[in-house]
Structure 1
């Protein structure tokens, strides 16, 4: 297989993962040394390529010729395994490049993860780029290729590992150890990627989704850098029928957000990551149990479901109830996929009623009752009927067979399970067995499914995550990933260019990095953002005149660019109905703001007061890894206390906006909460799309956009943007 022909992001990666020859740099006779353990692994697997060693001593080790330097090695090794301390690595990598090595594995730490390692890492990147090499690590365990039984690692994962269709890329070495030690999976490649100084997650994914032996990829992520490259690789995988499942650990802020924007304060790493995965089509899980079971299901199931409608059939009412409870947690259309209960057709329900006892309740999940435990023929007819229903996409059979189950009951369960392969073949739909016990399956029961593409997933929650992974991966592969919006959705060319120029000029002239009201008003008019009537004033008398112009009742609020949260500093007065109230409010607001700022703040804005409706917010921030992110949710003074605002990458479509709103309290508020009239949800959705278009046009200005609150008035009356702010985005710290 030639990487250059296939077209990998890093052509040398194919040579690194499938080397014809190896040199172990730092190979010594010392027992327990990294090089000695790598050599032991190569010997155990009977690696057929040439193996050389390099060490200043020049003493051979276990029959392997050891040279004093890389230059002395008689041929050109494909890969150099550098087993020396971090401070020696750059010089050795330079020698490997000069020798013509295609790849390097660096096990040592002391690079980006240390205070003085950044320069060393930069040197490593420069050398790899100059010589066209791929580099695994630094700070990693290396690579394991079970298909060739090839160990480019000093770690021995276990004696019973088998080749299979699952690839793993883990930035955490312990993630490789856990997954390989689970005993649940067969592997094509296991890569401990470490710091990913040169070869990153996007490179590995681009290679693995093109590998014919790989059907599912599990990634353990501590931090993402090349989000665009990862997305491109994952989408390439969809076309090849390869699903990617991600477990992210350490969900901290990707970068400092010293930003004066409401939206910037709430757009944290975890939500941005979920929005990215949703758009990319990556299935997400929350722990290693879920990751393991999702990979079991995705690597075993060969039939792609047409949708996410799942029918559950079990033999215990209590356990069916548990399944119902847990499945509800997977009901939202999130990155991790959805599990929807299938609605069975009248014909299927009638047939089920003929099969089950009279006292059984026909529902989904379906309790087939314990009467069927000893009747495999009857059970087979039942699951055949359920799987054959056109409204069912996936059949999930809930059946527990823990390892210490009594032999009589295990034999009964085995006969029930033995009916499933035939059902799977005849229905053409995926069949998954869900065991509520997470500790394994009785071998008698497991034998009934041997050789089939019916997975047994363990644990109620982890198993449900696996079922959601199957439905989600199918949706992604079928083209349901991300947005149906056209890329960019910009304004008319010159309007977009003028908006960008105006914002840049305003920011250049503003020490506070904030776009002033006159430019905001111009942008609002251009993009159709309905602001209330408003007038600026610098004195009490001017404020009273402005109120008469805007029309009572009015709101008076500070226009100081240094104030972020106006209500926190006494910078807002509402419900003013007379000129005298406006004058009193002017004095109170400007005095309060001046006390907080320590300087005069005479400028205020007087605007018409918009009453009623639901307060919402919408905004756009720049995430340091994922780019522009649109956020929305309940607005007003509680915006930053909202635990889960909805986020999406740009561009967005009407479908995206509907999904975002449905994932927040706005859905209930818009429907008419506690007797309130329904709100104009359509007008709000249209506003969100207009904000997204403006954000796309202003992308190059590096700004954050904040509309909070937005008054969503009763149905048919539209929306009003009560506060619009555009500020320069803070420069974030690099992602961890």
Structure 2
């Protein structure tokens, strides 16, 4: 985007998010009209900018002088709220653009979510936005609300209990925005219900909020990502501003991968692609609204980010901290053992029967003396392996005031520690209903979180968040096209070998005698496989024979393979039999590529062989990957244990497998535009120092007629 165009759009976003004047097109006093809600919300929340009702006949609306049209105004308003039927929106929007309006909110439904006519209407809306460099919220949305200025461009009821604060909510769903905004857990700077987000989507809102002084953190409720590159760039700006972003994705149920013919398609669904993307760009993903609330509360109230991954859990009940410890393990948190110096300090503070460890039961002594609890926290914070402390303390809301008072000393101790403590502390209730109000009141500067699972997942998300956009560089490679039509295994291997991926020697034969001669030349034993672009999984077709040890066996195997293949697929194009160098020993791995739009290709690694569907062991990441990420991916699988010598087996060449993953990433850089999926199964990982071999290969070309211009994510403008 040219600099002047970018500046113009920046002005348009400011006009949308912080307008100084608002025109409401279709303004009416009819109670059920969307424009009526907007007018009343503007008045109700004390918007101080200019309000201009636009109606062809009315003289006033809610006491405000009406204008017959936008073009009749002496000066263009910052934003026009289009509160009329979908069929009339395009005309009104074009008038707004011609008049010089910088931004618009289109409330009506009846666009791409409806039918073909709606999709055409939305295409015209996007064209108008581009022509006039307008920022447009919607269509099919509730609108947006700037709590700092009272600019409530919102077409539904808004509670006056909404508190002004530093958290912004961006949501494709209006209902989710309202639900999350009205919990009372934190104050809000902005609420945006963006609906179809046809012309202005989450990345544009994030770029605005990155420089918005009223916003410290952002939560997004997202149904789909259309342009990953834009979102990655927006996240670079959010990280630069030290503003965390939380994401709750709607529609996460698996619908099956596009590449159903490849094993990798069944292993890595769209959820894995979204998880990988969020991790790469440093967005904290949450599973549900409870997780959203606790993560938002944590991000807003934590004074400092943990500098180490280790977490200490402290409480007054052995059973209680054990329960928390179990769930911490499920959340993937690290609970490191305490250093000897830390143990010595804690022993000096607690009764002789206490056991200084992580998790730590302080015993009930702290009820009588809160200073002990405070000093225990300081001792834990001094441990070099501890980055954050969780004070797991229930004080249920249903307690009477007398019983609640027993917990006030602990709360005061945590609060006192937080003033000078070296490691951040979180005060947690195991109950989602939270703490007694009197206890919470003692913790004004401490994150007070609710529910064990949601709290620990929030902590894990924050600790595991990548605070930068991490996208490894990919070496520039000349783009290549796949040969036309379906590829056989041998043809697929030839393409892979040309890019430096290791494959066994092989030869295509079309007669029993040729099979015997090829086997003799390659050296016994050999493997023999059917050669056909129409038979993807050869084992099921009886098209594979292994361990062929003589010329006679090779002739017989040729006849058997051809007969089985004809019976399995009578109409298949049978081109002969591939006689291959027999590779024995090692660990069988599955390596593959699978496409998930809009992210492009991702890589799958896991246990391979004939049991791949049964074991379902895999790790996934988007491309490109470098050697460090390849090694980390292997470490995320059960395959890693096999490679490292499970049950005294010899170690396999893990380094060579990691190098193969990087080479496959490079292969995707050349051919990825034409690829739907790649299935390398099995890949034989030979003993340490002996390398790897691709024993079977399936490349599935794209059939949608599209071709990538390059890697799915580019973070450079």
Report the more deviating stretch, 401-410 or 136-145.
401-410
The offset of 1:118, in angstroms, is: 0.9
Matched, 1:369 2:363: yes
Q: Would the aligned equivalents of 2:604 and 2:618 in 1 still touch at CA under 8 Å?
A: yes
The offset of 1:381, in angstroms, is: 1.4
Deviations 1:123-163 (A, max 9, x none): 00001111111110111111011122321102233222112
Match of 1:396 in 2: 390
Match of 2:111 in 1: 111
Cα separation, partners in 2 of 1:253 and 1:98, compared to 1, 3 Å: farther
The offset of 1:219, in angstroms, is: 0.8
Match of 1:626 in 2: 599
Aligned equivalents of 1:5 and 1:416: distance in 2?
Answer: 56
Matched, 1:668 2:641: yes
Matched, 1:222 2:223: yes
Cα separation, partners in 2 of 1:196 and 1:641, compared to 1, 3 Å: farther
Aligned equivalents of 1:197 and 1:546: distance in 2?
Answer: 60
Aligned equivalents of 2:427 and 2:379: distance in 1?
Answer: 17
Match of 1:493 in 2: none
Structural mapping, 1:269-288, within 5 Å: 269-288=270-289
Matched, 1:442 2:415: no
Match of 2:515 in 1: 543
Aligned equivalents of 1:4 and 1:367: distance in 2?
Answer: 61
The offset of 1:640, in angstroms, is: 4.3
Match of 1:329 in 2: 330
Q: Would the aligned equivalents of 2:24 and 2:82 in 1 still touch at CA under 8 Å?
A: yes
Cα separation, partners in 2 of 1:236 and 1:655, compared to 1, 3 Å: same
Structural mapping, 1:558-707, within 5 Å: 558-599=530-571, 601-641=574-614, 643=616, 645-702=618-675, 704-707=677-680
Aligned equivalents of 1:251 and 1:732: distance in 2?
Answer: 27
The offset of 1:522, in angstroms, is: 5.8
Cα separation, partners in 2 of 1:33 and 1:251, compared to 1, 3 Å: same
Match of 1:424 in 2: 418
Aligned equivalents of 1:8 and 1:588: distance in 2?
Answer: 71
Q: Would the aligned equivalents of 1:9 and 1:206 in 2 still touch at CA under 8 Å?
A: no
The offset of 1:4, in angstroms, is: 7.8
Match of 1:482 in 2: 470
Match of 1:729 in 2: 702
Q: Would the aligned equivalents of 2:349 and 2:372 in 1 still touch at CA under 8 Å?
A: yes
Matched, 1:156 2:144: no
The offset of 1:215, in angstroms, is: 1.7
Aligned equivalents of 1:419 and 1:695: distance in 2?
Answer: 56
Cα separation, partners in 2 of 1:330 and 1:525, compared to 1, 3 Å: same
Deviations 1:486-522 (A, max 9, x none): x1135xxxxx53xx44xx2x52xx332x377357336
Aligned equivalents of 1:202 and 1:627: distance in 2?
Answer: 19
The secondary structure found in structure 2 opposite 1:148 is coil
Match of 1:293 in 2: 294
Structural mapping, 1:229-378, within 5 Å: 229-252=230-253, 257-258=258-259, 260-331=261-332, 339-378=333-372
Matched, 1:468 2:460: yes
Aligned equivalents of 1:565 and 1:96: distance in 2?
Answer: 59
The offset of 1:27, in angstroms, is: 1.4
RMSD of aligned residue pairs (Cα, Å)? 2.4
Aligned equivalents of 2:307 and 2:9: distance in 1?
Answer: 32
Q: Would the aligned equivalents of 1:348 and 1:385 in 2 still touch at CA under 8 Å?
A: yes
Q: Would the aligned equivalents of 2:489 and 2:531 in 1 still touch at CA under 8 Å?
A: no
Aligned equivalents of 1:708 and 1:66: distance in 2?
Answer: 70
Report the more deviating stretch, 35-44 or 619-628.
619-628
The secondary structure found in structure 1 opposite 2:30 is coil
Aligned equivalents of 1:253 and 1:199: distance in 2?
Answer: 27
Matched, 1:88 2:115: no
Q: Would the aligned equivalents of 1:414 and 1:448 in 2 still touch at CA under 8 Å?
A: yes
The secondary structure found in structure 2 opposite 1:67 is coil
Aligned equivalents of 2:255 and 2:36: distance in 1?
Answer: 39
Q: Would the aligned equivalents of 1:26 and 1:82 in 2 still touch at CA under 8 Å?
A: yes
Deviations 1:310-351 (A, max 9, x none): 1111111222111111111222xxxxxxx2113322111111
Report the more deviating stretch, 30-39 or 240-249.
30-39
Q: Would the aligned equivalents of 2:373 and 2:414 in 1 still touch at CA under 8 Å?
A: no
Cα separation, partners in 2 of 1:85 and 1:136, compared to 1, 3 Å: same
Q: Would the aligned equivalents of 2:11 and 2:102 in 1 still touch at CA under 8 Å?
A: no
Deviations 1:64-100 (A, max 9, x none): 2233332234431111111122222111111111221
Q: Would the aligned equivalents of 2:273 and 2:602 in 1 still touch at CA under 8 Å?
A: yes
Aligned equivalents of 1:374 and 1:154: distance in 2?
Answer: 54
Structural mapping, 1:708-727, within 5 Å: 708-727=681-700
The offset of 1:408, in angstroms, is: 2.7
Aligned equivalents of 1:43 and 1:645: distance in 2?
Answer: 55
1:554 alignment partner, one of 526, 538, 547: 526
Aligned equivalents of 1:436 and 1:107: distance in 2?
Answer: 41
Cα separation, partners in 2 of 1:519 and 1:158, compared to 1, 3 Å: closer
Cα separation, partners in 2 of 1:574 and 1:289, compared to 1, 3 Å: same
Aligned equivalents of 1:534 and 1:159: distance in 2?
Answer: 75
The secondary structure found in structure 1 opposite 2:123 is helix
The offset of 1:259, in angstroms, is: 6.0
Q: Across the two proteins, how many residue pairs are aligned to each other?
A: 704
Match of 1:336 in 2: none
Q: Would the aligned equivalents of 1:621 and 1:704 in 2 still touch at CA under 8 Å?
A: yes
Deviations 1:171-202 (A, max 9, x none): 11111111112111211111111111000111
Aligned equivalents of 1:5 and 1:92: distance in 2?
Answer: 23
The secondary structure found in structure 2 opposite 1:468 is helix
The offset of 1:377, in angstroms, is: 1.5
Q: Would the aligned equivalents of 1:145 and 1:190 in 2 still touch at CA under 8 Å?
A: yes
1:457 alignment partner, one of 442, 449, 456: 449
Match of 2:715 in 1: none
Aligned equivalents of 2:82 and 2:223: distance in 1?
Answer: 24
Aligned equivalents of 2:8 and 2:590: distance in 1?
Answer: 43
Q: Would the aligned equivalents of 1:157 and 1:181 in 2 still touch at CA under 8 Å?
A: no
- Report the TM-score, using the length of structure 2 for normalisation: 0.93
Report the more deviating stretch, 560-569 or 149-158.
149-158
Report the more deviating stretch, 281-290 or 9-18.
9-18
The secondary structure found in structure 2 opposite 1:429 is coil
Where does structure 2 lack aligned partners over 5 or more consecutive residues?
713-717
Q: Would the aligned equivalents of 2:308 and 2:385 in 1 still touch at CA under 8 Å?
A: no
The secondary structure found in structure 1 opposite 2:406 is helix
Cα separation, partners in 2 of 1:10 and 1:198, compared to 1, 3 Å: farther
Q: Would the aligned equivalents of 1:167 and 1:214 in 2 still touch at CA under 8 Å?
A: yes
The offset of 1:699, in angstroms, is: 3.6
